[in-house]
Structures are given as structure tokens and as C-alpha cells.
């Protein structure tokens, strides 16, 4: 392309100069003589001047008949008349109408004449062009085995350059293909590559060719693999970047999704929390209502019940033994049922009071409390031939009366639920559990199936018939309520060797220094030092 552009510029330069000279020297009337003289003076076969429609104004000797016959339709004429360049010029393919059939090139230069446009037709030996073209082609075959040609529109060689300086006609395949395409490959005892470029305003083209192998011949040493290495590394880098970008896109998508989901679940949580709060308030209110109801009902029931009990007592006193046996039995059934009812009502009242009374924690010496309790249950202990032992009990924080209720209930149960025929043995102890005390009451009684370990702390839940073990089923519910109001936990475990261990936790007295935590001890060995134990 560079070579054709160079030749085009050269042609333009030459012919625009010629055009000016022609206009000056051959613009007016011309005679064949003038032209003949010119032919004789230089290396030109013929000269002719035509007007723009092809009429011959003058022609030298040797002008071919086709020019004289005004065959101005030939390409070189068309080009001279139509080419848009400032110096319209046409250059023919190789023609063979020189003297004695010699090959020539015909150029047609259009220039301004006195009576309009004129065309100067010049026939010149091919060699005039060959040298000039070869000069321009010289730098065109730099690779090994490279060749460069200037071919006319029919594939005639106008000039050629070969590395060894030899002149050989171009391969027919090259000629054929270069007329069809601007580049490609052809076979000439090995694949060769060619590129063709047309010189503007002519049918000539410059064709360069070289063995394909020499064009792509590999370099050696570092140069051989370095480009591949760089290429490989770049590919890897691009792949890594692509993966990272993809990952970032995917991750950010996922993140956005999770965020949205999180937002939704947070919203749900907030809704749930609000609902829960509402239900809590509702529950508290209905609990308070229920509490009031239970309290009022049991309280108000107490008075008539006592009255009925009183009358039953009167009935018994006055008429027992005076009616028949059945009547005596009815009266005693009535009395025991009334007693049981009174018991239930008393327990219910006790339960209600535990919930209603404001808790004012004070320093409570559990040893002293236990002593009171043991005095209260003294008769039961004696009747049941029970033994109650205890460790040194700590000082704790809480309501003295309520804590006494807890111990009393647990000890009473421990005595009550004894194995028939065996003397009840009860032990009360305490151990440190983190920041609280764990107080326990252990018995050798009938034990509790762990399956019912939770149930028995609920209201009216009993595992036995009242005939076997009397009771209301409220005692442990009261105990649990007190313990929980004190911020503690309660539970029951099977005692080693039979029986049960009821335990609950309770905090230190108010204002006590934070205790040093000790490992949890479920139970101390019973009465480690005789002096520390007391029997009741
Ligand atoms: P009550 O003693 O009036 O029956 P409680 O609430 O005190 O009611 O006890 C509930 C149930 O738990 C009892 O009926 C009994 O079945 C069981 N229970 C309580 N204490 C013991 C214990 N020390 N040994 C075995 N069972 C017990």
C-alpha cells in the first residue's frame, strides 16, 4: 500500500508537470511534424494529440491504427478524461503495437488546449517504466525468499525485485490469484503468501510474495517463549480477574438477597416481640384477675364452709350414737369432706397470698427457720417415727415466712410419702451453687418417677389417691411459686439408695459480699461432724 501510494504520487508529480508543459507547448495548433521531431528526439515510439471526444488533431509516424481510428474507449483514455485528479492521466496495460510488434505502454495525459481539452497520447517502451518501477520496488522484498512485482491488469510483469537479483517470471498462480484478491496464499513448491495493492487510476498493481514459513518463522531463545509466557500470564490474569469479578457480582447478589431476607426476618421478629409484649401484658392482667378471683372465692367460701363445719360438728356431738349406724357414717363422711374442703381452701389462700404479698427480701437464717419448722411438724415427726437430720444451713436472702413455708412443705412431704413399714429418714442440707445456695431435702420415701418430675409442681397434680396419701396437690405449687418469686429454681431427683431429693436455689442475704464461687456439690455427706447436726 505504501509502495502504490508512493508510485501514485510520483505519477501525479510527473504528469502534472507534463500537463503544464503540454498545455504550453502543444495547446495551440499542432502539426505532425512537431510530434515527429519529438519522437525522434527521445525514447518515444509515437505521439498523438486528440481532442476530448477522440478526434485526432495530430499524430506522429508510427501511431497505431487503433488510436487513429479513434478508439478512445480504451481504459487509458477513459481514465485521462474522467479521473478526478488535478492531472487526469491514463496509463495502459502492456500493449504490443510498437514498431515490429514491440511491447509498449501508452499514457494519455489530458491538458488544456486552445479549443478545449486535449489528450496527448504517448507510446513508450516498457523498459522506460521498468527501471523506474524497479527503483520504487527495491525496498519491497525484505524477507528471505520475498519477491515484489508490478503487474499490469493482464498480469504482465512491468517490474520485479528478487533477493538474488535474478529475474524470473512470477508464478502463474500468483498472477491469477493477485488479479482476484488483495491477499492470500498460493502454492509454489511450498506455501507462499502474497499481498497485492492497486496503483490508483491504473489497472497496475504491486504484488509482494514470500514463503509463509519465513513470514511466521519462530524466533529463538528467550524471544521464542517469552511472548507466549506473557500471553499465557495475561490470559491467566484475565481469567483470574474475570473469576473475581464474577465472584464479586455473585457474592454481592447473594449478600443483597440475604440482607433482604434478614430485613424481613428482623421485621417478623420485631412484630413477634411486639405481639409477645402485648400477650405478656394481657397475661399479666388475666393472671392478676385470676389471682383476685381465687383469693376472693377462697376467702369468701371460707366463712360459709366454717359455718357448715360447725353445724356438722354440732350434729356429730348431739346425734352420734343416737341414730342408726348409717347416720353415724354419713356424719363422719360429711365431716371429713368438709375438712378436706377447708384444707383445699386454706391451701388455695396460701397460694394466693404468696403471689399477692410484696416480696421484701431480708437476711434469713435458714438454721433458725428450720428449727421453727421442725417445731411445727414435731407431732407429725413423732407420729411417723421419723428422723430429721440437717447440715449447717446458710443465711440467705428472702421472705422468712415464705421460706419457712417451703421447708415445711418439703419436710412434711418427705415424712408423708414414706415407704410403708419403714421409718422415714429426712436430711436437710445446703451447698454453694455459683452465686446462690442450693438447699435440699432428701428422704428415703417412695421416690418419684422422673417422668413426673415436672408435673408434681403444678396445681392439684398428685400421683396418689387421697386415701393412700392425704393431701390437696397444692403444696408443691406453693413451694415452686415461692422459689421462683425469690429468683430461684426448683427440682427433684432420685436419691441414691431410694427416695427423693427435692432441691431449690436461693440467693445470698441483701448486701452480702460476692461469694467466691465453689464447685457445685449436690449434697454433702450427711452430718460430717456430729456437733453440726441436730436431730429432731
Ligand atoms: P400433696 O402433698 O398435698 O399431695 P404436693 O403438691 O405437696 O401435694 O405434692 C404433689 C405430689 O407429689 C404428691 O401427691 C406426691 O405424689 C408427690 N410427692 C411430693 N413429695 C413427695 C416425696 N417426698 N416423695 C414422693 N412423692 C412426693
Distance from Cα 299 to the centre of ligand 1, integer Å: 25
Let me know: does 170 contact 186? Beta carbons within 8 Å.
Answer: no
Strands 387-390 and 500-506: unpaired
For 431-444, write each residue's pLDDT tens digit: 999 899 999 999 99
> pLDDT: is 463 or 526 the higher one?
463
For 215-272, write each residue's pLDDT tens digit: 766 566 666 777 788 888 888 888 988 988 888 888 888 889 999 999 999 999 999 9
Distance from Cα 506 to the centre of ligand 1, integer Å: 21
Q: How far apart are CA 225 and CA 219, in angstroms?
A: 9
Residue 504 CB less than 6 A away from ligand 1? no
CA-closest residue to ligand 1 atom 13: 462
Let me know: does 351 contact 481? Beta carbons within 8 Å.
Answer: yes
| 214 — pLDDT class (breaks 50, 70, 90) | confident
**What is the predicted pLDDT for the residue at 349?**
84
Residue 405 CB less than 6 A away from ligand 1? no
Residue 475 CB less than 6 A away from ligand 1? yes
> pLDDT: is 260 or 5 the higher one?
260
Name the burial class of residue 256, with classes exposed (0-12), middle (13-18) and buried (19+) by CB atoms within 10 angstroms of its CB. exposed
**What is the predicted pLDDT for the residue at 446?**
93
Q: Residue 532: is its pLDDT beyond 70?
A: no
Distance from Cα 475 to the centre of ligand 1, integer Å: 8
Let me know: does 91 contact 205? Beta carbons within 8 Å.
Answer: no
366, three cell numbers: 435458714
Q: How far apart are CA 4 and CA 489, in angstroms?
A: 105
Distance from Cα 456 to the centre of ligand 1, integer Å: 7
Q: Residue 515: is its pLDDT beyond 80?
A: no
- Strand ranges in 45-85 using DSSP code E only, listed in sequence order: 46-51, 56-59
Distance from Cα 467 to the centre of ligand 1, integer Å: 14
Residue 344 CB less than 6 A away from ligand 1? no
Q: How far apart are CA 347 and CA 475, in angstroms?
A: 7
Residue 413 CB less than 6 A away from ligand 1? yes
Q: How far is CA 488 from CA 215, 359, 437, 477, 505, in A?
A: 94, 14, 9, 14, 5
What is the CA angle 84-85-91, rounded to 5? 95
Name the burial class of residue 387, with classes exposed (0-12), middle (13-18) and buried (19+) by CB atoms within 10 angstroms of its CB. middle
Distance from Cα 396 to the centre of ligand 1, integer Å: 26
Q: How far apart are CA 254 and CA 3, in angstroms?
A: 60
Q: Nearest Cα to 463, choosing from 447, 479, 442, 441?
A: 447
Distance from Cα 528 to the centre of ligand 1, integer Å: 29
Q: How far apart are CA 170 and CA 82, in angstroms?
A: 32
| 533 — pLDDT class (breaks 50, 70, 90) | very low
Q: Nearest Cα to 535, choosing from 379, 427, 434?
A: 427
Residue 456 CB less than 6 A away from ligand 1? yes
516, three cell numbers: 467466691
**What is the predicted pLDDT for the residue at 528?**
34
Let me know: does 182 contact 197? Beta carbons within 8 Å.
Answer: yes
Quote the pTM value.
Answer: 0.48
> pLDDT: is 485 or 357 the higher one?
485
CA-closest residue to ligand 1 atom 19: 413
- For 129, the enclosing helix (H) or strand (E) is helix 126-137
**What is the predicted pLDDT for the residue at 22?**
84
Q: How far apart are CA 185 and CA 163, in angstroms?
A: 20
Longest Cα separation, the chain: 187
Name the burial class of residue 445, with classes exposed (0-12), middle (13-18) and buried (19+) by CB atoms within 10 angstroms of its CB. buried
> First and final CA of the chain: distance in angstroms?
126
Q: Residue 535: is its pLDDT beyond 50?
A: no
Beta-carbon-side half-sphere exposure of residue 76 (alpha carbons within 13 Å)? 24
**What is the predicted pLDDT for the residue at 486?**
92
For 148-157, write each residue's pLDDT tens digit: 888 998 888 8
24, three cell numbers: 504550453
What is the CA angle 340-344-345, rounded to 5? 115
Could you identify the atom of ligand 1 that is nearest to the CA of residue 477?
6
Out of 348, 354, 476, 500, mutate this one to test ligand 1's pocket (max ligand atoms within 8 Å of CB): namely 476
Q: How far apart are CA 240 and CA 253, in angstroms?
A: 19
- For 491, the enclosing helix (H) or strand (E) is strand 490-494
125, three cell numbers: 517502451
Distance from Cα 462 to the centre of ligand 1, integer Å: 6
162, three cell numbers: 528478487
Residue 473 CB less than 6 A away from ligand 1? yes
Percent of the chain residues topping a pLDDT of 70: 90
Residue 57 CB less than 6 A away from ligand 1? no
For cell 478524461, the residue is: 81
**What is the predicted pLDDT for the residue at 100?**
80
**What is the predicted pLDDT for the residue at 408?**
95
Distance from Cα 458 to the centre of ligand 1, integer Å: 11
Residue 446 CB less than 6 A away from ligand 1? yes
> pLDDT: is 372 or 116 the higher one?
372
Let me know: does 500 contact 494? Beta carbons within 8 Å.
Answer: yes
**What is the predicted pLDDT for the residue at 260?**
92
Residue 414 CB less than 6 A away from ligand 1? yes
Residue 124 CB less than 6 A away from ligand 1? no
**What is the predicted pLDDT for the residue at 513?**
67
Out of 452, 466, 471, 480, mutate this one to test ligand 1's pocket (max ligand atoms within 8 Å of CB): namely 471
Residue 424 CB less than 6 A away from ligand 1? no
As a whole number, the mean pLDDT across the chain is 84
Question: Which region among 61-75, 111-125, 510-524 has the lowest average model confidence (pLDDT)?
Answer: 510-524
Distance from Cα 126 to the centre of ligand 1, integer Å: 134
For 329-377, write each residue's pLDDT tens digit: 998 889 988 888 888 888 888 888 887 767 888 999 999 999 999 999 8
**What's the chain's length in residues?**
536
Let me know: does 527 contact 389? Beta carbons within 8 Å.
Answer: yes
CA-closest residue to ligand 1 atom 12: 456
DSSP 165: S
- For 325, the enclosing helix (H) or strand (E) is helix 325-356
Highest mean pLDDT, choosing among 43-57, 156-170, 206-220 = 43-57
Could you identify the atom of ligand 1 that is nearest to the CA of residue 347?
3
Let me know: does 398 contact 361? Beta carbons within 8 Å.
Answer: yes
CA-closest residue to ligand 1 atom 2: 471
DSSP 358: P
Q: Nearest Cα to 107, choosing from 125, 97, 120, 126?
A: 120
Distance from Cα 465 to the centre of ligand 1, integer Å: 11
**What is the predicted pLDDT for the residue at 221?**
67
Distance from Cα 534 to the centre of ligand 1, integer Å: 26
| 514 — pLDDT class (breaks 50, 70, 90) | low
**What is the predicted pLDDT for the residue at 87?**
64
Which residues does 405 contact at the CB level (< 8 Å), separation at least 6?
350, 354, 478, 479, 482
Q: How far apart are CA 439 and CA 424, in angstroms?
A: 19
> pLDDT: is 5 or 494 the higher one?
494
Question: Which region among 280-294, 306-320, 493-507 has the lowest average model confidence (pLDDT)?
Answer: 280-294
139, three cell numbers: 525496498
Q: Residue 27: is its pLDDT beyond 70?
A: yes
Q: How far is CA 372 from CA 260, 366, 526, in A?
A: 64, 10, 21
Average pLDDT value for residue range 17-27: 84
Pinpoint the alpha helices (H) of 59-125.
65-68, 75-82
Distance from Cα 423 to the centre of ligand 1, integer Å: 18
User: For the chain, what is the radius of gyration of the CA atoms?
Assistant: 65
Residue 406 CB less than 6 A away from ligand 1? no
Amino acid at each position: 500500500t505504501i509502495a502504490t501510494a508512493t508510485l501514485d504520487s510520483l505519477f501525479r508529480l510527473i504528469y502534472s508537470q507534463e500537463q503544464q508543459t503540454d498545455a504550453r507547448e502543444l495547446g495551440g495548433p499542432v502539426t505532425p511534424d512537431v510530434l515527429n521531431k519529438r519522437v525522434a528526439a527521445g525514447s518515444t515510439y509515437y505521439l498523438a494529440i486528440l481532442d476530448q471526444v477522440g478526434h485526432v488533431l495530430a499524430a506522429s509516424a508510427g501511431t497505431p491504427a487503433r488510436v487513429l481510428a479513434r478508439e478512445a474507449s480504451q481504459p487509458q483514455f477513459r481514465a485521462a478524461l474522467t479521473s478526478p485528479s488535478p492531472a487526469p492521466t491514463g496509463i495502459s496495460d502492456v500493449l504490443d503495437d510498437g514498431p515490429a510488434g514491440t511491447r509498449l505502454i501508452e499514457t494519455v495525459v489530458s491538458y488544456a488546449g486552445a479549443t478545449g481539452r486535449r489528450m496527448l497520447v504517448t507510446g513508450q517502451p516498457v523498459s522506460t517504466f521498468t527501471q523506474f518501477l524497479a527503483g520504487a520496488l527495491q525496498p519491497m522484498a525484505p524477507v528471505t525468499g520475498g519477491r515484489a512485482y508490478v503487474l499490469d491488469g493482464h498480469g504482465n510483469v512491468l517490474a520485479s525485485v528478487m533477493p538474488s537479483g535474478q529475474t524470473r517470471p512470477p508464478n502463474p498462480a500468483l498472477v491469477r490469484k493477485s488479479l482476484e484478491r488483495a491477499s492470500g496464499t498460493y502454492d509454489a513448491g511450498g506455501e507462499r503468501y502474497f499481498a497485492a495493492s492497486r496503483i490508483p487510476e491504473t489497472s497496475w498493481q504491486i504484488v509482494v510474495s514470500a514463503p509463509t514459513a519465513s513470514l511466521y518463522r519462530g524466533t529463538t531463545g528467550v524471544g521464542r517463549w517469552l511472548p507466549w509466557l506473557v500471553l499465557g500470564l495475561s490470559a491467566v490474569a484475565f481469567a483470574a480477574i474475570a473469576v473475581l469479578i464474577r465472584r464479586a457480582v455473585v457474592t454481592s447478589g447473594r449478600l443483597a438477597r440475604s440482607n433482604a431476607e434478614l430485613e424481613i426476618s428482623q421485621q417478623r421478629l420485631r412484630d413477634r416481640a411486639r405481639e409477645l409484649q402485648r400477650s405478656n401484658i394481657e397475661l399479666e392482667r388475666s393472671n392478676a384477675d385470676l389471682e383476685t378471683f381465687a383469693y376472693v372465692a377462697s376467702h369468701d367460701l371460707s366463712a360459709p364452709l366454717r359455718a357448715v363445719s360447725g353445724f356438722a360438728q354440732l350434729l356429730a356431738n348431739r346425734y352420734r350414737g343416737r341414730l342408726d349406724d348409717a347416720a353415724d357414717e354419713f356424719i363422719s363422711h360429711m365431716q371429713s369432706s368438709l375438712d378436706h374442703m377447708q384444707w383445699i381452701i386454706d391451701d388455695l389462700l396460701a397460694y394466693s397470698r404468696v403471689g399477692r404479698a410484696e416480696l421484701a427480701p431480708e437476711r434469713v437464717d435458714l438454721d433458725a427457720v428450720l428449727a421453727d419448722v421442725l417445731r411445727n411438724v414435731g407431732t407429725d415427726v413423732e407420729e411417723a417415727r421419723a428422723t430429721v437430720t440437717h447440715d449447717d444451713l446458710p443465711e440467705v436472702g428472702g421472705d422468712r415466712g415464705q421460706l419457712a413455708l417451703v421447708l415445711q412443705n418439703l419436710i412434711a412431704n418427705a415424712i408423708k410419702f414414706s415407704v410403708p413399714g419403714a421409718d422415714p429418714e429426712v436430711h436437710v442440707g445446703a451447698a454453694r451453687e455459683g452465686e446462690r445456695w442450693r438447699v435440699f431435702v432428701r428422704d428415703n420415701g417412695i421416690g418419684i418417677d422422673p417422668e413426673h418430675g415436672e408435673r408434681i409442681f403444678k396445681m392439684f397434680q398428685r400421683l396418689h389417691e387421697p386415701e393412700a396419701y392425704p393431701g390437696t396437690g397444692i403444696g408443691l405449687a406453693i413451694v415452686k411459686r415461692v422459689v421462683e418469686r425469690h429468683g430461684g429454681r426448683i427440682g427433684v431427683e432420685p436419691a441414691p439408695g431410694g427416695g427423693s431429693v427435692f432441691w431449690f436455689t436461693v440467693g445470698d442475704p441483701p448486701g452480702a459480699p460476692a461469694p467466691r464461687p465453689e464447685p457445685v456439690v449436690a449434697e454433702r455427706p450427711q452430718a460430717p461432724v456430729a456437733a453440726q447436726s441436730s436431730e429432731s
